[in-house]
Chains A and B, each alone.
Chain A
Amino acid sequence: MFDYLTFGLLAQLFINGILFGTMYGLAAIGLSLIFGTMRIIFLSQGAVIILMAYCCYWLFTLFKIDPYLSIPIIGLAAMVLGAGIYQGLFRRAVKMEDKNITLLIAVGLMFLIENLMAVMWTPNPRSISTGYTSSSIPVGGLAISFTRLMGFVMAMLSTAGVTLFLKRTLVGKAVRAASEDIEAARLVGISPHWVNTIAFAIGIGLCGIAGIALSTTYPFDPYFGFIFSLKAMIALALGGLGSVFGALLGGIILGTLESWSSFFISGGWADAVSYGVFLLVLLFKPEGLLVRSVKKV
């Protein structure tokens, strides 16, 4: 049945899976900060990514700014937006015991962003077409998509940057402390609002990066992002909470899983396989695949 399998094919499949999973991973690292510190099921993540993709599109179309050069602009704008979203929408709700409220604000925000985009920029699909769109780099008989490779590089750099930030800077340490134990963090005098604002700013900033990676690789329309919200959530659960690198790796695992199952089973079942694995992980190793089991009381 699989007589056409060769080593090269398998290697290509492997690489494709990793590059594809990076897209999920990029979305997941942003989420890991937001979900990690505030436990918000932030379903509007995907919509924000698409919003950033549109920003990238407009910068490219109107001002001829290359998508990769727009990283600083979009990253910064996204961070400001993130801080704004937190201060404007989630500041009060995060304190509350009831998690439904943050979930619903996220849903409301998703409705709002998706449909604002549809009204302002029409629901027709958009895409960025540059010289390097759909070009690939041949490496020893394998073809590696350029835009996806760039996405991979961006994801790696972002992960490294965020990890360094969390480990080396005082603010970062505070964010990390808060994501591990918010009560204890409060006791040692960390202001939760400050930490949350930072976490949100970085989280949404990473959405900006994900938006750029997405807009160079895919055509998109206002409703394109929802699947990324879900998949990022899964990637996060696979990788384990509170670890940025885990989130990226979770995304890559998810991507590889989908890629392999759509090759060996069939395209339509890839989603079922990834959700099935997700459920199994939730049941048997809810702290994530990559976290060494620590029993929490």
Chain B
Amino acid sequence: MKSKRIFWWFGLLCSIPIICLVFSNFAMAAGKEILIGAPVHMTGPLAPDGLELKWAYEQAVADWNKKGGIFIKSANKKLPIRLVFADDESEPAKVAGAIEKLIKVDKVDLLLGTHSATMSVPAINTAEKYQMVYHCTTHWPEMFRDQKAKWASVMFFSAVGASEVPFIIWETLLKKEDRPKNVALLMEDSPDGQAFGGGFRSHAKTHGVTFAVDEPWAIGAKDYSSMILKMKAKNVDAILLYGAPTDAITLVRQIKEAKLNVKYMHGWKGTWAVEFAQALGKDANYVICDGFWSEEFPYPLCKELGKRYTDKFKKRSVSIGAFYGTAQVLFMAIERAKSYDKTAVRDALRNAEYKGTVMGDLKFDEIGLALFPSTANQWWDGKQMLFYPPVKGGYQLKLAPEWGKR
């Protein structure tokens, strides 16, 4: 009989979580606060970005709550904002679960988005099902347009627009004889890499550049020597790459080992992390990274946000502003609508302009899409120096000499 009891124990064990799930439906406090949910990567390979995103959202909420919250007409007073997070485990299937949880268990009023296009597609699909506002950054406008979402809004740059940056830099910032002749394109095999790759190829055509090497870059591959040999054989003098930080560090190390001299190396995503510069030390100099934002932007709060970030993480960031700005714009939309009703907020994020955010002035079109420019920074002694778009009296782009002459 003893073993039968174990079975009952098991039944009890199973039923506790189920009861928890059923009853958590009633745990909510309506009308006292604005509850905003955000799926973020807390675990899994994308967690470094996710934790920054989480920090930035928390900063934005703290800043608004310091002012007493947002005025809501129906309550006739300012209501504080509360954020709840759910872990999306860096997996598209899990982000759906995270959103189901936020909507059904936490009963959030509005959603802020997670990071990266891979996750945004299923996240938006799921939020759409419940007609829930989903306001995010880092999702490609091209893909967002395809999704025909009615409740989501995105503020980001387009891959097509961002991928024109190197060509503009070459034409406007470099002397004619310095312009790269044999360009290599190394794009990660991911939605982001593909979106960028397509952009580069189409701009190359209009700017009269042909790629000497055009290689897809398998995620997490550990050996790039074959790729480097190919570039060496074709006298490549400039590289445009899109990949994860670990992959980018490995690539640069192996480029140095193979003594491949490239005067212009411009990386997206993988080269901007501070870990990139830490891992490479002096070798990171001259490498160019993209960015969503810079603390040198002449907009309100930028300096202060950069300082807060540096105090907390002991490094600089070129992305944190976009995350902060995403939350900021959502709160401005609530403020403008004077309501956190999802329809009102959604409408406030369409055909609307928001001025004075950390991302500058943003203009949302009829599908809820706002574009901001992508930046370019050069690593110099452990700091990302903004040089594009050019700021007056700012940093000037340097071309890399040969490895032996550094």
Chain B residues near A6 (CB, 8 Å)?
233
A125 pairs with B273, CB closer than 8 A: yes
Complex CA gap A122/B229 in Å reads: 34
> A100-135: which have CB < 8 Å to B?
115, 118, 122-127, 129, 133-135
B275 pairs with A126, CB closer than 8 A: yes
> B8-47: which have CB < 8 Å to A?
43-45, 47
Complex CA gap A233/B233 in Å reads: 34
Among residues of A, the one whose C-beta sits closest to the C-beta of B47 is A123
Chain A residues near B216 (CB, 8 Å)?
266-268
B220: CB under 8 A from chain A?
yes
A129 pairs with B278, CB closer than 8 A: yes
B226: CB under 8 A from chain A?
yes
Q: How large is the interface on B (under 10, 10 to 19, 20 to 34, 35 or more residues)?
A: 35 or more
A259 pairs with B223, CB closer than 8 A: yes
Chain A residues near B44 (CB, 8 Å)?
223
Chain B residues near A89 (CB, 8 Å)?
none
Among residues of B, the one whose C-beta sits closest to the C-beta of A226 is B220
A270: CB under 8 A from chain B?
yes
Residues A262 and B229 in contact in the complex (CB < 8 Å), given A122-B48, A135-B257, A218-B250: no
Contact with A along B260-293 (1 / 0, CB 8 A): 0000000000000101001111010000000000
Contact with B along A130-169 (1 / 0, CB 8 A): 0001111000000101100000000000000000000000
Q: In the assembled complex, how far is the CB of residue B315 from the closest CB belonging to chain A, in whole angstroms?
A: 10
B45 pairs with A223, CB closer than 8 A: yes
Complex CA gap A143/B255 in Å reads: 11
7 further A-B contacts with Cβ under 8 Å, apart from A123-B48, A134-B280, A267-B224, are A125-B279, A129-B279, A218-B250, A221-B48, A260-B226, A267-B227, A270-B218
A7: CB under 8 A from chain B?
no
> B201-226: which have CB < 8 Å to A?
215-218, 220-226
Residues A134 and B256 in contact in the complex (CB < 8 Å), given A127-B279, A219-B245, A220-B246: yes
Chain B residues near A271 (CB, 8 Å)?
218, 221
A287: CB under 8 A from chain B?
no
Complex CA gap A136/B232 in Å reads: 16
> A1-23: which have CB < 8 Å to B?
4-6, 9, 12-13, 16, 20, 23
Q: In the assembled complex, how far is the CB of residue B191 from the closest CB belonging to chain A, in whole angstroms?
A: 14
Q: Give me the interface of B with A, judged by CB distance under 8 Å.
A: 43-45, 47-48, 51, 189, 215-218, 220-227, 229-230, 233-234, 245-246, 249-250, 252-254, 256-259, 273, 275, 278-281, 283
Chain B residues near A123 (CB, 8 Å)?
43, 45, 47-48, 51
A25: CB under 8 A from chain B?
no
Q: Return 26 A-B CB contacts under 8 Å, by A number.
A: A9-B233, A12-B229, A16-B223, A123-B47, A124-B48, A125-B48, A125-B275, A127-B249, A134-B252, A134-B256, A134-B283, A135-B257, A136-B256, A136-B259, A143-B259, A146-B257, A219-B245, A219-B246, A219-B249, A221-B45, A260-B226, A262-B223, A263-B229, A267-B218, A267-B224, A267-B227
B223 pairs with A9, CB closer than 8 A: no
Best-buried of B216, B233, B257, B281 by chain A (most CB within 10 Å): B257
Chain A residues near B259 (CB, 8 Å)?
136, 143
Chain B residues near A219 (CB, 8 Å)?
245-246, 249-250, 275, 279
A268 pairs with B279, CB closer than 8 A: no
A224: CB under 8 A from chain B?
yes
B257 pairs with A134, CB closer than 8 A: yes
Residues A263 and B226 in contact in the complex (CB < 8 Å), given A219-B246, A271-B218: yes
Q: Which of A23, A115, A124, A221 contacts B222 (CB 8 A)?
A: A23
Best-buried of A9, A125, A263, A268 by chain B (most CB within 10 Å): A125
Q: In the assembled complex, how far is the CB of residue B303 from the closest CB belonging to chain A, in whole angstroms?
A: 24
Chain A residues near B229 (CB, 8 Å)?
9, 12-13, 16, 263
Chain A residues near B275 (CB, 8 Å)?
124-127, 219
A267 pairs with B226, CB closer than 8 A: yes
A280: CB under 8 A from chain B?
no
